[in-house]
Structure 1
């Protein structure tokens, strides 16, 4: 139900964005393309699992990964300081994350100096590497045809800030996927 609600809200925002942009005669899209790095804590919870009672004494969950990749964002003004936009990202990961990618809508305000402070919401997909996540030997996984696990996707919500320095933009974001993970990224981009 939550997925349907967030997907509906994202679709409504996507439909409203072009109408708002068209209403502005002097609207110029603010486009930024760049690179980002960060940490993604998957928040793996073993619940009541007790390694001492089972045969998994050496079961080691490594649920934090460094991520590095690219992003692209486009924003349009909705007035003096308010803006709305959309952004996409693709990241490779280390450790338990093979890759992740997603799209999000942005809504925020621009300060007099040009900095942007925004909230964002969208959808993020994460592909996991089970060997790195669990510490299980890769030969065992290969013998049993267990490979990268596509976790699928879920809604993403977060906040961010972008600070312009000439035509370069420095940015930082903190996000969560379905309130199960914590993801922080920093990046540098070029404005077009």
Structure 2
């Protein structure tokens, strides 16, 4: 699982470096409205899947059946803000809340910081680090929330309307889950 996350992050960095070099510094002339101001709030909806490792000391409960991993599909709302720093560089903060629609996950929620580069006028490549809480349906209504650091990498590709398509991969704890998500984000 950890190898998949490292390969994904390396691929995002590999693609971001040429995009960074191509940016011609026209931060105030973006066609998607995202770069015309220093501060960009955004909201979005994504969907995806998360599967947790079934290992001892992974920070989450271990399933009695060694081959039965806790997993499920999710629908997630995100809200955040990006701050354009210099040229194509940006930093940001984001919060999320996700509801499990099938499988073992009931709710997830968390917050993360983002750092990245803009690719041209309508794209973003970023990494993120934060904290995530997860609650499982499988353990009943009174089950506790499990929590750990979360790490991720993603890409957003936009249009002139300010709507971007997001693809992102996150992990829970020390790479004890894989969580690919995709959806739409609207910058203001």
TM-score by length of 1: 0.68
Does structure 1 retain, via aligned residues, the 8 Å contact 2:38–2:85?
no
Unaligned runs of 5+ in 1: 1-25, 48-55, 132-145
Q: Which residue of 2 aligns with 1:33?
A: 43
CA distance in 1, matches of 2:76, 2:153: 19
CA distance in 2, matches of 1:128, 1:99: 7
Q: Residues 129-165 of structure 1: CA distance to partner in whole angstroms, max 9, x if unpaired? A: 125xxxxxxxxxxxxxx53422421000010111112
Q: Residues 106-136 of structure 1: CA distance to partner in whole angstroms, max 9, x if unpaired? A: 00101123311000000000001125xxxxx
> Match for 2:172 among 155, 170, 177?
177
Aligned residue pairs, count: 144
Does structure 2 retain, via aligned residues, the 8 Å contact 1:62–1:95?
no
User: 2:113 aligned with 1:91, yes or no?
Assistant: no
Question: Which protein is richer in helix relative to its size?
Answer: 1
User: 2:61 aligned with 1:65, yes or no?
Assistant: no
Q: Which residue of 2 aligns with 1:140?
A: none
User: 2:108 aligned with 1:100, yes or no?
Assistant: yes
Note the aligned Cα RMSD (angstroms).
2.2
Structure showing greater relative contact order (alpha-carbon pairs closer than 8 Å, 6 or more residues apart): 2
Shift of 1:183: 0.7
Shift of 1:42: 1.2
Shift of 1:27: 5.4
| SS of match in other structure, 1:130 | helix
TM-score by length of 2: 0.70
Does structure 2 retain, via aligned residues, the 8 Å contact 1:157–1:175?
yes
Shift of 1:72: 0.9
Does structure 1 retain, via aligned residues, the 8 Å contact 2:53–2:69?
no
